[in-house]
Structure 1
Amino acid sequence: MRGREIPAGRKWKNSNSLKSNDAMTPRSGDQGKCLNTLLFTCSSSSPVSQTPRWLPWRSFLPVRRSWPPDSPSPPVAQVDRLTRFLSPDVGNTSMLLLSFDKDTLFVGARDAVISLDVSQPGAMEMKRKLDWIPSSKDLDDCSMKGKNMTDCPNFIRVLQFLNSTHLYTCGTFAFSPRCTYIDLQTFTSAHGPSGKPDEGRGRCPSDGELYAGTVADYQGNRPVISRYLSQGSRLDLKLDDTLGWLEDPTFISSAFIPAQKKVYFFFSEEGREYDFIEKFTVSRIAQVCTSDVGGQRTLQRRWTTFAKAQLLCQAEHELPYNVLQDIITLPPPEGATDDETLFYGIFTSQWSVNSGRSAVCAFRLGDIRAVFSGNYKVLNRDTLRWSTRLQEKVANPGECGLHNASDNTLRFVKENFLADDSVLPVGRGLALVSPDQRYSKVAAQRTRGANGRDYTVLFLLAESGFLHKAVLLAQGPHVIEEVQVFQQPQPVKNLLLSVSKGVAFVGTSEGVLRVPVANCSHYWSCAECVLARDPFCAWDPARQACADVSSIPVGAGQDVEGANVMETCEVITPKDKFGQHRPPTVPCPPGEQVPVSLNEVVTLRCPEVSKRASLHWERPSGQLSPDLYLQLADSSLHFLATPATLGHYLCVSEESGYRQTLAVYVVKERSGGGGATTQTAAPTRPAGQPTSKGAGLGAEPSSKTASPKPTAVWGVEAPTAPTTARNLTAVKRPQLTGGGTLAPLGKGGRSYLGELVAVSVMLALSLCVILAGALYGLWQRCRGRSTPQVCPRRDSEAGSSQEQDPLTRNSPRAAGTAKQNDLQHSKAPVVKNGSPRGSNGHLPNTPI
């Protein structure tokens, strides 16, 4: 590819700090793996963040809100929606770089570099495209090397500003990495003094020079950290690959600290100092001084200021998270020293007990400098074993200016480059940990809240396709929300945060996404705005809306630490026992009409505004009896439409000790009746509306010390009905709460005293009738016995007809008496225990 030539001798100045980039390596699953790659990139331009003071370990709290892709906004919302740039001609959009005026996004893709217009909110349009495609010969040579043809295109892996007029870019270029310059005015390529593209074996501009971490061969056996395009009297330098300074490293990122004139490298490698564990991976930070020019005799054209230390991301009583995935640099707050610079990194673990988890740790630059100023381990070249040096230090490894030291000093730093101590995280623990998400990219921003305090907000991109936003507080992290940026998981190449525009750009294999960092307009009431605990959002009392805190001149309602709604929103309007802030003359708030037919199954839905809130249903007329109502795990209410279940229903939410009504329904009988069907009602939006004081509908204060009420379904008092229509044998069904447990029956249900009295009276009357009948039968029997009796004939007079009954063994006289008694009792058979029996206790007509 031909291009204009840059004039020889021209000096390039880096006018801004630089963001971390990926390796100049095709990724697995996309393009394979390229070993001649650029793995180190330059310093970050991330915004400043304060230093949080965490306890030793904090668990990862649940996400409060979840926004699906392209979720609809409220009618009054003016938000920057999720915007995508997808083009069939542009793929593997991995490198992202925002222009100085923040209106253009430069994207490094496959075989091309493009520029996108991002000046308008919610829009991304391609302005220019520069193709950079390997020739047929380059592709054939790549295939001859045994590479897959899908790995042979030119994948852009470096895209940085060289100055205000040119971009510096490097690509894999069919496994022959090359670098070139792009004129921003004409958006064409321009070669250097040699008149052809530069060798691209790992280059990245920093302060006008190129500092790179890469490997020097296709087999990946010679890792190096080098400097190219050295200015003035400085020479190009690299590590001596025969000294074992690096052990199969995987470079992640880097940072340039101008005040210290040092470049820091972040990578993972095999920890050979742990010789009792095979293949133990450790995370490292290494440093070199930009003023280093190499030794005069010892370490000629080699680094004399190289030193490395271990980054330890570990919770108490747990195995360490030892594999570094991504790291970002946050400069110190305004007025603070460079020692307050923070590095936020994502770590995973090689141990199965922590499989699938990701942890975030923060490291302070002052702690890093202290470790590099301490003791160092020494490597025995004969046994290749590490030990702590006991003798006095000859020099301090990593100290700038050692290139002028004596040969004895340089031999000491040559053998002592691994710090004895590890760099511990801020607070000696994890900033946060996710038990079920694997994070791949991190971005951070320092923002000022309504109270004048600074808060650190992390943006974490998960492999599941969600972008999590978390604020780091003294009591632990609070995950504000998650935005689903991908329908299906896919490789994520870059995450770039624009503070001025309030958006995050996500580079993927398929395209570029633009995600707003805040969704303030989605919170419809002061209560919801405060409960979100989002440092970006506050309640504007003038506009009666939740908006960006920087746009509210005075009186912004926000409480990030405590989420105290009552004090923040100043709710002083009257309320009744149902928690409804409305005039007492109104019997019940208006709600959505739900016409139903009797004996119809009704389902009422409650909108989910927070995954950390408990939801339950109430009725103004009383409590909800578990005999009639069922609340499922999704908080929906199910019941059968009867005259007793018609009326108002309120879905009430409780979070952080604050109650508010989310939905109101009015279930009424449909005119004309109808058969038994199923009716489902769901609100089009939460029913709560801000009051004059900014409180949501149904707001009710709760004491700070009061314990939250259980998510049980409360009882209801049904309208009075005739007792004859009451089903006294109804079976009580257990009530399920949102958590799937049995809900207790609430107090204050309807009294059944009237029905009990009626049943008792009916039972007494029945007993009286039975007793009267028994007495009458006894009187009749006694009367029969008192009348004159005819003397019985003797047995001899009876003849053969008076023989004994063979079944009952009764005498003829007894049989005659029994016959007479049978006639007096209407000849009814005697029934005992439900079966007719003879006088001997056996069934009749059966032989003994």
Structure 2
Amino acid sequence: MGSPGRRLSFFSSHDVGNTTTLLLSEDGERLYVGARDAVLALDVSHKDTVLLKSKLDWSPSEKDLEECSMKGKKMADCPNFIRVLQFLNSTHMYACGTFAFSPRCTYINSETLTMSLNTVEGRGRCPYDPYQRNTAIIVDGELYTGTVADYRGNRPVISRHLSEGSRVDLKLDDTLGWLEDPTFISSSFIPHEEKIYFFFSEVGREFNFIDKFIVSRVSQICMSDVGGQRTLQRRWTTFAKAQLLCQAGSELPYNVIQDIDMLPPAEGAPADDTLFYGIFTSQWAVNSGRSAVCSFSLTEIKSVFSGNYKVLNRDRLQWSARVQDKVANPGECGLHNASDNALRFVKENFLAEDSVRPVGRGLTLVSAEHTYSHLTVQRVQAANKKLYTVLFLLTEAGHLHKAVLLQSGPYIIEEVQVFKPPQPIRSLKLSIPKGMIYVGTSEGVVRIPTANCSYYWTCAQCVLSQDPFCGWDPVSRACVEVSDTQTALSQDIDGGNVEEACNSITLTHRTKFEPSKLPTASCPAGEPVSVSLNEVVRLHCPAASQLSKQLWVRPNSRLSSDLYLHLEDGSISFVATPATLGHYLCLSTENGYRQTMAIYHVKQKNNPMAQTPPDYAHLHTRAQPTTQTVARPGLHTSVRVVPKTTELRPAETKPSLSIRNTQVTTRQLDKNLTFQVKESGNTEAEFPDGKPLLAARCPSYLKELVVVSVLLVLCLSLLITITLYVLRQHCQRRTAPATGAPSRDSDRRTPEEQEALGENQFVNKYNGQAPLGGHAHGLICNGNLTASTQNLPNTPF
């Protein structure tokens, strides 16, 4: 949100919250939102903004709120939370809300957003509790719901409403235990089968060796079902359910379903190629915090429902496999005309014996770091006319992952931080015609584009993203969205091979700059980094993406681990010495492709003592921008920090003989600096104004050698002087006459007292004043200096 290159639009209002239900028009121009005490109509036809077109207030009265509070409910849970919002026909919608724990339903004009005068009771159509999950779908003017039908939430039901003519409303038989404390997730309509599939999780009573073992289910009902004539009157005769098994090999299954979405078959493919992608978590501690995505085919689901069914022994309350012949086929449409014996058989045999296993008998995607809560899926045609499946996964931390499913496995293209701080996700909706994703939260609605190809600024980055939505256009030299009108786009979704995809395109000078092409006669140009000896230097390396690896190299040198510290963010740190001065290159490698991200030239500052300035000024401090956001492809937007630096200019600083405080210098490459590699081998750096910067020469250490030699001569001279002085004093003491007899006081002291007195006199002679004045320099040099001055221990003069 707010990053450059991202067109994230956010709608919020002070009186709008808990956008739990989203409904998108067929043309994608309008988004209807079911929120707390309101239904909204948002205009999403504009590119960069989401506008409120109209709003319908639908809230309980003060009397309803008082009755809700008297029932022991919190006032925060008593408003009307819209939980059902479906198109009834071309002109009206059907909406239901919790309405202060007394569900109500109504008809709403989709154009004017006006509500009918009369509302009806919503029991069995909408949950009482706003925290209970439900599902609803309208097909041919009839409402199919999965929810609870009582105030306490103990009567789960799958039912049909709004039936007309000879058709009657149906529901499950409450006394048969067809559902065991379910949590409804979603429902889908399969047109060619005329069936409605419900997805939910419940307690698996067939696993009696484990207490409250949660299993994921898929159930089906036929739209043509009208109930039995004598047995199962006004009850489903085609209800059947089976277990969804999201499991890899012999590992423990991911048994709790969180969300599921249907992917229709490709154009020209059979209808049985319909796939269902679901998010699953585990109730086992070994898989705690992990999420898995599994896909199930409609062919597999139909095969399981057409197989054998288990039977429940109601005396022992145990499930077993039936061995005798089947009287009827449970789940088969048209059983409402069957005999009472056949209806009694399907009444007790509604659990399929086999489980629905995932496509490929394995997990589509598994994440040990992120907990996914919602997903949506889309089939995309790449530039080579090949179809790819793209998953959009929302994490509980407020991140959107876009992943493409390849033969080698799932590949996460990018990660978008939708919310900061994280917010509870209420709903997720995909608009394929508009290429947008809508996320409903407790505070509003966020619109995210499914593709943002301008985010990649080179052919290499566009190809490395392996995004089927994007391809590199050699004509406009830009990464553009794939369409039917564009041809000859550079793209490699399966391999991400930059050399093959961009072989006909001239790469930028920056990506062509390789360490092997460095001239040997002179050092290459780079961003100058002026340091002093014994100063801690830190060089930053911008990452091309989170999937890339960063590598530091030096021309004709090796980075020893004894001298260099490689940090987690990819930067490198070292102490400036004559051996560490020179040039450094930061390389980014990804999928076998290498590119240069930064070049630095670390050199020593000019010695201020070697100059004689006419006057002296105070210390000059120059402040630079503290943060800069760089839009780079990958999972995150890279943020580079250029800290404030304090520079000692030679012409403005007084020469001083005091010990210099060790400083930490941090540098990072300016994004406006580009590099040119000429065929002759000479390297130049060019700034935005077009003035070239001559190649820097290799550093010279003649001045340092002269200074060290002078200091050595001075030290030897001082040592010789002190030695001569000590010898002279010694000779004088030997030739000096005696000063006479000791005094009376001294005679009274014992020899031990006289010796102690001599030692005290020697100590008192230098008490508080060390030789050469103050504390000895050697004590400061070898001591541990405070961290506030950023000094290193054992720093020499």
Q: TM-score, normalised by structure 1?
A: 0.70
Taking a change above 3 Å as real, the CA distance of residues 365 and 686 of structure 1, as seen in their structure-2 partners, is farther
Q: Which has the larger radius of gyration?
A: 1
Contact 1:93 1:107 in 2 (8 A): yes
Aligned to 2:540: 605
Letter in 2 for 1:480: I
Where do residues 268-347 of structure 1 align in structure 2 (5 Å cutoff)?
268-347=201-280
Q: Residue by residue, what CA displacement relative to the aligned partner does 1:369-399 show, whole Å, maximum 9, x if unpaired? A: 0000000011112222111111111111111
Per-residue deviation, 1:590: 5.5
Could you tell me which of 98, 113, 127 is aligned with 1:187?
113
Q: Which residue of 1 aligns with 2:27?
A: 101
Task: Say if 1:607 and 1:685, in contact at 8 Å, map to a contact too.
Answer: no
Report the Cα offset of residue 315 of structure 1.
Answer: 1.1
Counterpart residue number, 1:85: 11
Bigger mean CA deviation after superposition, 230-239 or 258-267:
230-239
Show the 5 A alignment for 1:531-610. 531-550=464-483, 553-570=486-503, 579=514, 591-610=526-545
Provide the secondary structure at the position in 2 that maps to 1:267.
strand
* Aligned-pair CA distance for 1:230: 1.0
* 1:170 aligned to which of 83, 87, 96: 96
What's 1:615 paired with?
A: 550
Q: Deviation per CA, 1:188-246, whole angstroms, max 9, x where unpaired?
A: 1125xxx4335353164222101111222222222211111113321111111111111
Whether the 8 Å CA contact 1:662–1:688 is kept in 2: the answer is no
Tell me which amino acid in the other structure corresponds to 1:347: F
Q: Deviations over 1:325-365 (max 9, x none)?
A: 11111111111112111111111111111111111110000
Name the stretch that deviates more: 598-607 or 663-672. Answer: 663-672
Of residues 110, 132, 141, the one that matches 2:58 is 132
CA contact (8 A) 1:618 1:649 kept: yes
Is structure 2 residue 305 aligned with structure 1 residue 372? yes
Equivalent residues in 2 for 1:188-587 (5 A)? 188-191=114-117, 195-202=118-125, 204=136, 205-550=138-483, 553-570=486-503, 579=514
CA contact (8 A) 2:280 2:292 kept: yes
Deviations 1:656-696 (A, max 9, x none): 1111111223345556754653321123549789999xxxx
Partner of 2:564: 629
1:288-329 Cα deviation digits (max 9, x unpaired) = 000001111111111111111000001112111111111111
Higher relative contact order (CA 8 A, sep 6+): 1
Partner of 2:39: 113
1:631-666 alpha-carbon deviations (Å, 9 max, x no partner): 222211223445654544221011111111112233
Q: Distance in 2 between matches of 1:218 and 1:210?
A: 21
Task: Give me the whole-angstrom Cα distance separating, in 1, the residues matched to 2:502 and 2:706.
Answer: 48
SS of equivalent residue, structure 1 residue 176: coil
**What displacement does 1:535 show?**
1.2
Q: Take 1:690 and 1:214, find their aligned partners in 2: how far apart are those partners?
A: 67
Q: Distance between the aligned counterparts of 2:673 and 2:192, measured in 1?
A: 55
Question: 8 Å contact 2:216–2:257 — kept in the other structure?
Answer: yes
Change over 3 Å in CA distance of 1:689–1:126 after alignment to 2:
farther
- C-alpha separation between the residues in 2 aligned to 1:581 and 1:190? 76
Asked if 1:679 corresponds to 2:611, the answer is no
CA change 1:532–1:587 in 2 (3 A) is farther
Query: Distance between the aligned counterparts of 2:157 and 2:675, measured in 1?
Result: 62
Counterpart of 2:15 in structure 1: which amino acid? Answer: D
Paired with 1:287 and 1:99, the residues of 2 have a C-alpha distance of 27
Alignment-derived partner of residue 756 in structure 1: none
- Give the drift of 1:589: 6.7
Q: Secondary structure at the match of 2:160?
A: strand
2:3 alignment partner in structure 1: 71
User: SS of the counterpart of 2:196?
Assistant: strand
CA distance in 2, matches of 1:351, 1:688: 54
Q: Contact 2:375–2:392 at 8 Å: present in 1 too?
A: yes
Q: Per the alignment, do residues 72 and 596 of structure 1 end up closer, same or farther by CA in structure 2, a change over 3 Å counting?
A: farther
Matches within 5 A, 1:814-829: none
C-alpha distance in structure 1 between counterparts of 2:111 and 2:70, whole Å: 38
User: Which stretch shows the higher mean deviation, 445-454 or 585-594?
Assistant: 585-594
Cα offset for 1:92? 0.8
> What SS is found at the alignment partner of 2:307?
coil
User: 1:494-549: CA deviations, max 9, x gaps?
Assistant: 11111222221111111111122223222221111111111112111112122212
Once the two structures are superposed, what CA deviation does each residue of 1:90-116 show, in whole Å capped at 9, x if it has no partner? 111111112222122111111011122
When structure 1 is superposed on structure 2, of 286-295 and 241-250 the one drifting more is 241-250
Deviation, 1:153, is 0.3
Q: 1:133 and 1:588 mapped to 2: Cα distance?
A: 74
The residue type equivalent to 1:267 in the other structure is F
Q: Is the 8 A contact 1:171 1:200 kept in 2?
A: no
- Provide the rounded CA distance (Å) in 1 between the counterparts of 2:543 and 2:328: 63
Question: Within the alignment, does 1:158 sit opposite 2:84 as a pair?
Answer: yes
Superposition deviation, residue 247 in structure 1 = 1.1
CA contact (8 A) 1:330 1:342 kept: yes
1:234/1:293 contact within 8 Å kept: yes
Which range moved further: 217-226 or 350-359? 217-226
Contact 2:43 2:53 in 1 (8 A): yes
1:720-759 maps to which residues of 2 (within 5 A)? Answer: 721=701, 725=705
- Matched to 1:255, the amino acid is S
Give the direction of change, closer, same or farther, for the CA distance of 1:418–1:306 in structure 2 (3 Å limit): same
For 1:469 and 1:589, how far apart are their aligned partners in 2? 40
User: What one-letter code is carried by the residue in structure 2 that aligns with 1:174?
Assistant: A
Instruction: Describe the SS at the equivalent of 1:150.
Output: helix
Distance 1:607 1:234, change over 3 A: same
Which stretch has the larger CA shift, 589-598 or 432-441?
Answer: 589-598
SS at match of 1:190: coil
Residue pair 2:22, 2:32 contacting (<8 A) in 1 also: yes
Q: Aligned partners of 1:544 and 1:689: how far apart in 2?
A: 19
* SS of equivalent residue, structure 1 residue 515: strand
- Residue 142 of structure 1: how far off its partner (Å): 1.1
Secondary structure at the aligned position of 1:245 is classed as coil
In structure 2, the CA distance between the partners of 1:684 and 1:360, relative to structure 1 (3 Å rule), is farther
Secondary structure, counterpart of 2:341 in structure 1:
helix
Tell me, in whole angstroms, the C-alpha distance in 2 between the residues paired with 1:689 and 1:655: 21
8 Å contact from structure 1 (residues 331, 342) kept in 2: yes
1:488 and 1:358 mapped to 2: Cα distance? 21
User: Paired residues, what number?
Assistant: 629
Per-residue CA deviations over 1:575-634 (Å, capped at 9, x if unaligned) read 999627989899777543434455543221111222222211223454445454332222
Cα deviation for residue 178 of structure 1 reads 0.8
Letter in 1 for 2:426: K
User: Is residue 32–residue 39 contact of structure 2 (8 Å, CA) maintained in 1?
Assistant: yes
Distance 1:640 1:535 in 2: 46
**570-579 vs 254-263, greater mean Cα deviation:** 570-579
SS of residue matched to 1:126: strand
TM-score (norm 2): 0.74
**SS of equivalent residue, structure 1 residue 185:** coil
CA contact (8 A) 2:262 2:275 kept: yes
Change (3 A) 1:691 1:95: farther
Q: Residue 427 of structure 1: CA displacement?
A: 0.4
2:651 is aligned to none
Counterpart in the other structure of 1:149: 75
